[in-house]
Amino acid sequence: MSSASAPVLQVTDLTVEYATDGPGVRAVDGVNLQVHKGEFVGVVGESGCGKSTMLFAIAQLLSPPAAITDGSVVFNGQNLVTMTEKQLNVLRWRDYSVVMQSAMNALSPVSNIGAQFKDALEAHGSFNKREITERSTEVLALVGIDRIHLKSYPHQLSGGMRQRAMIAMALLFTPELVIMDEPTSALDVVAQRSLMVQIRELQRTLGFAVVFVTHDMSLVSHFSDQLLVMYAGQVVEAGPTRTVFDRPAHPYSRGLLDAFPSIRGPRVRLTGIPGSPPDLGRPPTGCRFHERCSVAMEECSTTVPDLYPVGDVASRCLLHRPAEVTA
């Protein structure tokens, strides 16, 4: 993807805190992200590392006690953080849309699929009955669902069909950006693969950009262009997906890759990562990963690392800190 073109989405120093009786819990800490037209960006990390909170902040769907306390989310030149709810509603679905983790919870159980598509279309445009039926039929066809299921209720569809129906709803207005929060987590591995292939084909055909949040490294390995690895609310590695997989720079990225098996090559014992992510209410000093890191130095417990360039990627590790230039 050419960096010369202006990004569809530019996230700068995004910080999200949850208000508590004591000091606020910083769930997203100074995240930067660029997404260009037609680009597929994966966001990975363990549960509780801030991935979904970051996604909801980008989509402006946070609810109390969570709130953006710093940074900007610029979509097509407009800072979503400073917009009113009325202004955001003009952009939602039409220009950017969101596919939630559980379609059964995101879809209304008391309305059929066609009625829910109709509500979305009427909320963001002016359409007659024929146009609504035609557009609803078109987007269902895009995801491989027969128009007969416009009359089906969510509980009458399989898990994979519900997720595809949610993706169809997200494409009603052919948005430029589709944000996806673990849309495959409730599916079996065959349905996961099928859905990911379909998402990628739709993206290439229609040209929209994707921000895809998941905890499954293997899912994004073949589908995403760029990858963000998050740990304890921070981006610890960012760069081209293939580079991160072939030559992971950060010890946490290496740990994630060692935690899932490869279907090719010699059989290798899975090592995983000892311990658990830290309590974000009381994050560790220095590098947030040092307590679980196999290559941690004494300095890692006191010095906060920045994101340092390592070839094509950036890594938040003191091992990659540039040597100081002496006078």
Which segments in the chain show pLDDT lower than 50? 1-3, 325-327
37 phi and psi angles, rounded to 5 deg: -55, 130
pLDDT of residue 291: 95
pLDDT of residue 327: 37
Name the residue among 204, 144, 175, 166 with its Cα closest to residue 59: 175
pLDDT of residue 3: 47
Integer CA distances (angstroms), 245 to 37, 191, 315, in order: 23, 23, 13
pTM of the model: 0.91
- Residue 54 and residue 68: Cα distance in Å, rounded? 10
Name the residue among 80, 102, 255, 296 with its Cα closest to residue 180: 102
pLDDT of residue 263: 56
Which CATH fold topology does 9-95+173-320 show? Rossmann fold (3.40.50)
pLDDT of residue 242: 96
pLDDT of residue 189: 84
**HEC secondary structure over 313-324:** EEECCHHHCCCC
Q: For all residues of the chain together, what is the average pLDDT? A: 91
Question: What does the block give as tokens for 64?
Answer: 């109390």
pLDDT of residue 258: 83
Per-domain boundaries in the chain = 9-95+173-320
The neighbouring-strand residues paired with 214 are none
